[in-house]
Amino acid sequence: MRQDVITTEWLTLRPFTAADIPWVHEVSMDPALQRFVELPSPYRLENAAFFVERLAAPGWDGGRRVEFLAEESGTGTRLGRVGLGSKGNGLAEIGYWVDPRARKRGVATDAVRAVCRWAFGTLNLEIIEWRCEVGNTASRRVAEKAGFLVEATLRRRLFHRGMRVDAWVGSLLRDEAYGRRR
């Protein structure tokens, strides 16, 4: 699959490269990210290398996983990450996180909107699903601002740090990505 670059008014969303490994390592040690994302702990540089070189980069082959690094177009400053994992039959699941220094600037919302629009057009998706651990209100706000409809609380649906935890789940349909609610 061709590794695309997506641009918005102020963001560039591009595939990860080996040069991003130190940044992924640094951001992944953030306590908020560690709290809500299933990451190794302690998080080592080799974990970041595994993510970039073994998951993010090769995921594009066959289209089973696409990962974008969000950077500020004017400066090239790395801001966050948005990824989609294919679940087959026109369905994918989205995940995202933002560098703590870039939070509360609309990075995640704008990046999620752009990646969803790209995915509906390029990957021929019908629905994108979002899940997060109950209590991750920042992720929920991003999903809702990006147009996702939060549909339910699923009991003990996620596995985090050796425990089952409740999950919020939502979805975005193709028409909704372009502002048309059914």
Task: For the chain, give the percent of residues with pLDDT over 70.
Answer: 98
Instruction: Give the pLDDT confidence of 125-160 residue by residue, as tens digits.
Output: 999 999 999 999 999 999 999 999 999 999 999 998
pLDDT score, position 100: 97
- Kindly tell me the sign of the dihedral angle through the C-alpha atoms of 78, 133, 126, 63: positive
**DSSP-assigned beta bridge partners for residue 145:** none
- At residue 180, the pLDDT reads 61
Q: pTM to 2 decimals?
A: 0.95
Specify the pLDDT at position 163: 93
Q: Which ranges of the chain would DSSP assign to H, the alpha helix?
A: 21-28, 31-36, 45-50, 57-59, 107-122, 137-145
Cβ(6)–Cβ(118) below 8 Å: yes
The series of mean pLDDT values per 10 residues for the chain, 182 residues long, is: 93 98 98 93 96 93 91 98 96 98 97 97 95 97 97 95 95 87 52
Residues 6+ positions from 40 with CB-CB distance below 8 Å: 47
Domains identified in the chain and CATH numbers: 6-128 (3.40.630.30)
Q: Which long-range contacts (CB under 8 A, 24 or more apart) does 147-156 make?
A: 147/113, 147/116, 147/172, 147/176, 147/177, 147/179, 148/172, 149/176
Pair 91, 64: CB distance under 8 Å? no
In sequence order, what are the beta bridge partners of 84?
A: 66, 94
